[in-house]
């Protein structure tokens, strides 16, 4: 949503330069003063619902992000502002207020210097370390848990909507423009980002928090492997939703451990729980994230080797099965005699 570029120096008003246009929103230039308070610095990027610019709040001496929508979409912007204001949480980007310029409204948001998770993941030579990814997922899960407790469904969880305070800082959930009350009956049009949609969303069912958990699991898989579980190529004539739904039903999600040898089946199982096709079988956001944490610790724990020595092969087999059932990380070997064991 917000891309980090060259850091801003100083906290005073912007240095005056010859006027140049900010690519978007229209009619806003670098150096413009909006609402008598916000001096435009530069364009930041585009969010799912609109354009974003960096500005200096000259009354308080702090940098802020201004999110600007076409006046036709003012309702979405107002919804986002209200949802942010009613759901204050350390893991959700703060809203400072609203303003208007040339008849078009804008939100005044907390400026997140570190950019979004997709950019963060691109900074690594290969893929981000698993423990770093899990830490981000836990942070987002806390924010989603708070949002769900407030009765809201985000509806667009993806790397671009998770922002970092600094490059390696705390992750915060952003872009609540599509969020709706749980139980909301969607219209014939589905909302969100296709690759992150759960099967029930593609079928047009009532909005529920479980769709956010599914999207969080897809995001986790993407950060771990560099691809989504069900990639849809060459979409034609709006057939993407149908093709994605068919793929989800026909093919189980691949195991992340196939891409990351440091992972084990316990982590695969924890991740696949969030990708369950039946919404009722998915854990809540924090249960999902904590499951990943526990599984990662389990995968990193050392393996124990146990040798079962007995001259009865049936007893040896029973003991081996029992040990492996109780202690999955145990590697069991068998020997008939002590001499053979040595």
**Which of the residues are catalytic?**
155
Nearest to 15 by CA among 29, 31, 1: 31
Q: Would you give the end-to-end CA distance of the chain in angstroms?
A: 62
Distance, CA of 342 to CA of 335 (rounded, Å) = 9
Instruction: For strands 180-181 and 33-34, give the pairing.
Output: unpaired
**Residue 79: exposure state from Cβ atoms within 10 A (0-12, 13-18, ≥19):** middle
In terms of phi and psi (left: phi > 0; alpha: psi -120 to 50; beta: otherwise), the region of 14 is beta
In terms of phi and psi (left: phi > 0; alpha: psi -120 to 50; beta: otherwise), the region of 224 is alpha
Residue spans of alpha helices (H) in the chain: 74-86, 117-122, 130-149, 199-202, 210-225, 240-250, 265-274, 285-300, 313-326, 338-341
DSSP string, 236-303: -TT-HHHHHHHHHHHSPPPPGGGT-TT--HHHHHHHHHHT-SSGGGSPPHHHHHHHHHHHHHHHHSPP
Q: Which two tokens stand for residue 201?
A: 């969303």
């Amino acid at each position: 949503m917000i891309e980090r570029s060259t850091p801003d120096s100083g906290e005073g008003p912007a240095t005056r330069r010859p006027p140049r246009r900010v690519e978007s929103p229209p009619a806003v230039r670098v150096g413009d003063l909006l609402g008598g308070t916000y001096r435009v610095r530069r364009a930041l990027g585009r969010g799912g619902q609109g354009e974003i610019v960096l500005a200096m709040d000259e009354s308080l001496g702090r940098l802020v992000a201004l999110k600007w929508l076409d006046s036709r979409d003012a309702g979405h912007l107002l919804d986002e502002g209200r949802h942010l204001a009613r759901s204050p949480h350390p893991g959700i980007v703060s809203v400072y207020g609203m303003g208007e310029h040339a008849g078009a409204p804008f939100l005044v948001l907390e400026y997140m210097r570190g950019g979004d998770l997709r950019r963060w993941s691109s900074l690594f030579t290969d893929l981000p370390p698993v423990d770093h990814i899990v830490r981000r997922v836990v942070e987002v899960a806390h924010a989603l848990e708070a949002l769900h407790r407030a009765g809201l469904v985000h509806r667009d969880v993806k790397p671009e909507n998770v922002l970092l305070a600094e490059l390696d800082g705390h992750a915060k959930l952003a872009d609540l423009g599509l969020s709706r009350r749980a139980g909301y009956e969607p219209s014939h049009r589905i909302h969100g980002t296709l690759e992150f949609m759960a099967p029930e969303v593609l079928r047009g069912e009532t909005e529920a928090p479980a769709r956010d958990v599914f999207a969080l699991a897809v995001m986790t898989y993407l950060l771990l492997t560099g691809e989504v579980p069900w990639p849809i190529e060459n979409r034609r004539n709006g057939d993407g939703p149908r093709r994605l739904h068919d793929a989800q039903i026909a093919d189980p999600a691949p195991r992340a451990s196939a891409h990351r040898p440091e992972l084990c089946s316990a982590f695969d199982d924890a991740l696949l729980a969030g990708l369950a096709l039946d919404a009722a079988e998915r854990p809540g956001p924090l249960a999902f994230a904590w499951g990943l944490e526990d599984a990662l610790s389990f995968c990193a724990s050392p393996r124990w080797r146990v040798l079962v020595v007995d001259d009865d092969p049936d007893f040896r087999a029973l003991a081996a099965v029992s040990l492996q059932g109780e202690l999955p990380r145990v590697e069991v070997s068998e020997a008939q005699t002590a001499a053979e064991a040595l």
